[in-house]
Structure 1
Amino acid sequence: METALENLSKEDLLKMVSSMSKENELLHQERDILSQERDYLKAQVEMLQRMQFGQKRERFEGDPNQTFLPFHAEPAEAEQQLELIKEKIEYVRQRPNHKGRAKLPAHLPVEEIEIHPEGDLSEMVCIGQEITEELECEPAKFYIKRYIRYKYAAKNRDGVSIAELPERVIDKGIAGPSLLAMILVGKYQDHLPLYRQKQIFARENIQIPSSTIEGWTRQALEKLEPLYEQLVFDTKAQGYLQVDETPIKVLDSDKKGAAHQGYYWVYHSPLDKTVLFDYNPSRGGHVPTPMLDNFKGYLQTDGYAAYEKFGKKKDITHLACWAHARREFEKGLQNDPERAKKALLMIQDLYKVDRKAKEEKLSPDMIRELRLKESLPIINDMGKWIFREIKNTLPKSQIGKAMAYAYTRWDMLSEYLRDGNLQINNNLIENAIRPVALGRKNWLFAGSHEAAQRSAMIYSFFAICKKHEVNPFLWLKHTLMNIASINHKNIKELYPQNFKKSTDM
């Protein structure tokens, strides 16, 4: 070997050394790539383990010594159990009243029951009273509202006079506005599928076919279409919108035996506290165009790419969501706890500033001044830290993804400092979407694309009811009774927030 090397020229030796160096460099690169892949896969496994809340199935192994059913207790044991029950009942009767109970609502009607001592009281004088109150209720009360219209005829003239029926929600239908309101609130607010409500009717010996209840629901929702169209128009004119989307299964599918994955696109106006649900079969970037094409103002979204083209428009200021950025860093606690914790603490400080503003009930101008004084330095420090650290992180690691998420949206994450009316995150719209997620667990899907859009209407108004602390049943009953007869110029009076104003007066 040494002789062979001695016979090589200097140039050949240099080429050999260069070739070996390249091979070593390639080996190092391969090791780095394998190391990155290993760290990435390790982080993925840790995240999946973290997301796993419980076992997929439960096992049960019977005890071979278990007594077979049926079985009965021994007579002596049964007698002993009766004595224990007797003692328990005596204890419950004699137990003193709880002295720390909450006050009962003052607006409820009161049924008074007077109880006098037994025996002859003629020689006694009443010296006072002791009052004990209980909160009671009655189940839903069903009754028949019967309109009796008398006919009148003139004695010496032809013709008959009869009064007109009041406006009815369903023409020639037997369901009144209160019943329809109860059904819709039950399904879309309290997440009771129609078949469960049918069972409630049956307990009161009221047998209503499922098809009839479904028809009532559809026709009642159709009555709300003019009010919903006005809400769409007013939402387009807002100057600050938060936008998000959530999935909904729809049975109307081109694929046999499968449900279609549709989406509710949700638009929330934090200033007016209004919410608009709009259904679309697609999640494509073209869907928000009818709502946002002429939009001007502040647009706050998560990281979904569909909103980027709107955010780049000249008349739109695009805001990102600190809650989404925080979630990315929270996922990185398993992968890189030191840097993830540092980022989370800085984000926590930003939320402390906004919490302080809320607790002190500051005006928007004062909130802006407070943020510029206390939040801006935190954002600047965090931005510099991410700029330094992102170079030393693996792009595929969770901490690398979290830093990249924040780094690419840094200007949008900082935009909320501009105005005290702007929110630090998108949580308000996520709270408005939550009833849909709860509903999905109960009624599972919509029967058609048209049914999904009708559901979007009632979800919109019930979300507004919640934000304005309006009783959805009272609002819906009032609206169903008046929407057909109201002047179209005054239709905004039927908005939940305006219903609250009228009831407060």
Structure 2
Amino acid sequence: MADSSKDLQLRELKDMINDLKKLIKTLQATVDAANKREEALTQERDNLKEEVALLRKKLFGSSSEKRSMEVPGQLNLFNEAEMEQDSALTEPEGLENLLPEKEQKKRKSRATNAERFKGIPVVKKYLDLSDEEKICPVCNTPLVKIGEEFVRRELSFVPAKLKVVEIYSLNYLCPECNKDDVAVIKKGKDGHAHMLHGMAAADTIAWVMYQKFCNSLPYTRQEKDWAQYGVAITRATMANWVIRNTLDYFTPMYNYFHRQLLKREFAMADETPLQVLHEPGRRAQTKSYMWLFRSGEDGGLPIILYKYSETRAGNNAVEFLAGFNGYLMCDGYSGYNKVPNAKRTACWAHIRRYLTDAIPKGKQLDYTQPSVQGMMYINQLFHLEDVIKAKHSSFDAIKKARLEKEKPIVEGFLSWLDKQNPVRGSRMDKAVTYIQNRRSYLMTYLEDGRCSFSNNLSENAIRPFTVGRKNWLFCDTPNGAQASAIVYTMVEMAKANGVNVYHYLTYLLEKLPNDRMSDEELDRLAPWKTV
């Protein structure tokens, strides 16, 4: 009886032990799952903190990703790198040679007044004596002028003035024929008939265009400005002037520039959102796009073209670049892959931007950080680009120098990239993914000295539009958006070719280009012929 009782207790203890083991196993699984969730949440929190820091830096900090490895805290919003940096940290072995050599920068000489005011008409103003003062105080003899002496130079502003020009035709009659009741009458003819849409003259319409598309002044503010001059010109009237005259008289020049761009072997592209309120079949909030296509750094005349489209579809680039055969510099947007006969080149400025964003706060000089290591490669490449471009003027020499100096660094960068294993979802993970996805054309720029190293020229060319967009916010109709693209083209073409923008717009509105003109005739109206 006692033995059976002990056996029963023993079985109960064994069952209890098994139950406890199962409970421990279940609890351990629960703890492991909780730990994994905690790790995931911690990583998500860290990623979000990175995003917040990046957004705050973009909102309040410097907009440039450029930096010098010797300047602590340049990338950090609160400039804490110098305080937080561990002075014991050194560059990883093999990377110390990537630091650009220090160069003694020459201070840019200050421009003289003559240089600053070059091209501005000079009017001499004389400080003269009164008639009473022109008498010698010693002997009362009249003074004799012996010369003039320079005192100072002032910049004077003459406000614009409006005037209404009424055009009359003078009529002439032959008096002798009139005696015989034969009326021989001749009238003065307008050698340049008014063909512009609206009452405004070419210089007035050009001024409206200049104010909006060069100075980013919306029609609403221009309307108030016109009122200060005593004339009521509504925003609707100005919009009508710009749209109708642009589509009729600027389009032939636009198409001519387009044809010239397609003949080039090097092109660049970029795009940015645009809101157009009244697109057929689309909501007002739907995002449209303004594209920028321009010539590359091939030594030819600069050509810059804007293009409006309803979407960002790659077919827009395909249609616009139909017939182009050469190298295409653009950002990472995959839509450009659809362009046939175009060999893409990667923008190293975008790569630098992603690595810059991946540097943790206060770690700008921490060479154990992978993002900082990557930046050392990129900074050295940009440094070499500056040195090579300054030293060599021929494209063959640039290509040779790039292959000798830059190719080994690019290869080292790609080898370093393959060794990276960043935390999933982190800024560094996004940077590595971005670069790996563009790996196939990272070295394309080494094939020809005319290839661009970055897409900065395109971004600089599209920036005037983005600045203007902050002021006028949207386009009302597709016609307005298309007219904006064409006028921005004329404005940026004038700038790129060193021509006064307002004078060039006025010039085109006076010459009135049309579709009947040959390319030779249109070329005579191009900004490179009107300097």
Specify if TM > 0.5: yes
Counterparts of residues 286-297 of structure 1 (less than 5 Å) = 286-297=315-326
1:190, CA displacement in angstroms?
Answer: 0.5
Counterparts of residues 36-185 of structure 1 (less than 5 Å) = 36=40, 38-52=42-56, 53=59, 102-103=113-114, 105-117=117-129, 119=133, 120-121=135-136, 122=141, 124=143, 129-131=148-150, 132-154=152-174, 155=177, 157=182, 160-168=185-193, 170-171=195-196, 173-185=198-210
CA distance, structure 2, for counterparts of residue 359 and residue 36 of structure 1: 50
Q: Aligned pair 1:260/2:271, yes or no?
A: no
Secondary structure of 2:272's counterpart equals: strand
Partner of 2:219: 194
CA distance, structure 1, for counterparts of residue 112 and residue 513 of structure 2: 46
**8 Å Cα contact 1:169/1:481 also seen in 2:** no
Distance change in 2, residues 1:281/1:29 (3 Å): same
**8 Å Cα contact 1:252/1:259 also seen in 2:** no
Query: Structure 1: which 5+ residue stretches go unaligned?
Result: 55-98, 501-505
1:433-466 deviation digits (Å, cap 9, x = unpaired): 1111111111111110111011100111211112
1:102, CA displacement in angstroms?
Answer: 3.1
Secondary structure of 1:286's counterpart equals: helix
1:202, CA displacement in angstroms?
Answer: 1.7
The one of 469, 476, 482 equivalent to 1:440 is 469
Partner of 2:376: 345
CA distance, structure 1, for counterparts of residue 28 and residue 193 of structure 2: 86
CA distance, structure 2, for counterparts of residue 238 and residue 457 of structure 1: 20
**8 Å Cα contact 1:253/1:260 also seen in 2:** no
1:149-204 deviation digits (Å, cap 9, x = unpaired): 22234526556432432335545843111111111001110111122222222222
**8 Å Cα contact 1:170/1:219 also seen in 2:** no
Distance change in 2, residues 1:160/1:30 (3 Å): farther
CA distance, structure 2, for counterparts of residue 117 and residue 385 of structure 1: 79
CA distance, structure 1, for counterparts of residue 306 and residue 111 of structure 2: 43
1:183-239 deviation digits (Å, cap 9, x = unpaired): 100111011112222222222222333333232222221221121222233333332
Partner of 2:336: 307
Distance change in 2, residues 1:476/1:24 (3 Å): same
CA distance, structure 2, for counterparts of residue 255 and residue 158 of structure 1: 62
Q: Aligned pair 1:408/2:437, yes or no?
A: yes
**8 Å Cα contact 2:348/2:454 also seen in 1:** yes
- TM-score scaled by structure 2? 0.75
RMSD: 3.3
> More displaced, 202-211 or 472-481?
202-211
CA distance, structure 1, for counterparts of residue 467 and residue 516 of structure 2: 36
Q: Aligned pair 1:298/2:362, yes or no?
A: no
CA distance, structure 2, for counterparts of residue 100 and residue 241 of structure 1: 34
Partner of 1:82: none
Between the two proteins, the alignment pairs up a number of residues equal to 443
Higher relative contact order (CA 8 A, sep 6+): 2
1:413, CA displacement in angstroms?
Answer: 1.6
The one of 197, 205, 228 equivalent to 2:230 is 205
Distance change in 2, residues 1:166/1:439 (3 Å): farther
1:397, CA displacement in angstroms?
Answer: 1.4
**8 Å Cα contact 1:364/1:420 also seen in 2:** yes
Q: Aligned pair 1:227/2:227, yes or no?
A: no
1:403, CA displacement in angstroms?
Answer: 1.4
**8 Å Cα contact 2:216/2:468 also seen in 1:** yes
- TM-score scaled by structure 1? 0.78
Counterpart residue identity of residue 210, structure 1: R
CA distance, structure 2, for counterparts of residue 184 and residue 172 of structure 1: 14
CA distance, structure 2, for counterparts of residue 25 and residue 309 of structure 1: 50
**8 Å Cα contact 2:314/2:336 also seen in 1:** yes
Secondary structure of 1:251's counterpart equals: coil
Distance change in 2, residues 1:100/1:404 (3 Å): closer
Partner of 2:87: none
CA distance, structure 2, for counterparts of residue 228 and residue 24 of structure 1: 72
Counterparts of residues 347-362 of structure 1 (less than 5 Å) = 347-360=378-391, 362=393
Counterpart residue identity of residue 306, structure 2: F
Partner of 2:342: 316
Counterpart residue identity of residue 157, structure 2: C
Q: What fraction of aligned residue pairs are identical, expressed as a percent? A: 24
Distance change in 2, residues 1:257/1:295 (3 Å): closer
Distance change in 2, residues 1:100/1:287 (3 Å): closer
**8 Å Cα contact 1:43/1:334 also seen in 2:** no
Partner of 2:105: none
The one of 456, 459, 479 equivalent to 2:485 is 456
**8 Å Cα contact 1:169/1:220 also seen in 2:** no
Secondary structure of 1:287's counterpart equals: helix
Secondary structure of 1:288's counterpart equals: helix
Secondary structure of 1:431's counterpart equals: helix
CA distance, structure 2, for counterparts of residue 198 and residue 128 of structure 1: 50
Distance change in 2, residues 1:294/1:126 (3 Å): closer
